[in-house]
């Protein structure tokens, strides 16, 4: 059980109110950011596509890092030592 489970009802409700308020503020900030990007000429569909592509890129990069890690273990080297062999930059 979480520590909240042991808090008095009033404290638990107050914590939830604070969390809800924080989420509302984040929602408002994101809405403002979206409005700003749209005013710069971006469409909502374009933004959603861009986010989708970023997720796909991160998934592919994670898979590549996992494979490099496994290969490094097999060879008994660090992943950093494999980067030059595959023409990768450390910032990749």
Q: Is the same domain home to 38 and 54?
A: no
Which positions ≥6 away from 82 have C-beta within 8 Å? Answer: 68, 71, 72, 75, 88
Q: What DSSP state is assigned to residue 90?
A: T
What's the mean pLDDT when you consider all of the chain? 88
Q: How confident is the model at residue 34 (pLDDT cuts 50, 70, 90)?
A: confident
Q: How many domains does the chain have?
A: 2
Is residue 53, in this structure, part of any structural domain at all?
Answer: yes
Owning domain of residue 18: 9-42
Is residue 4, in this structure, part of any structural domain at all?
Answer: no
Is residue 1, in this structure, part of any structural domain at all?
Answer: no
Distances (CA, A) of 34 to 38, 41, 51, 56: 6, 11, 12, 21
Q: How confident is the model at residue 43 (pLDDT cuts 50, 70, 90)?
A: confident
């Amino acid at each position: 059980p979480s520590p909240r489970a042991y808090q008095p009802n009033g404290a638990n409700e107050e914590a939830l109110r604070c969390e809800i308020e924080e989420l509302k503020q984040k929602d408002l900030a994101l809405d403002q950011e979206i409005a700003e990007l749209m005013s710069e000429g971006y469409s909502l569909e374009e933004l959603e596509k861009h986010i989708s592509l970023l997720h796909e890129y991160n998934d592919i990069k994670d898979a590549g890092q996992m494979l490099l890690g496994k290969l490094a273990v097999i060879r008994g080297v660090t992943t950093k030592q494999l980067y030059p062999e595959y023409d990768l930059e450390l910032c990749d």
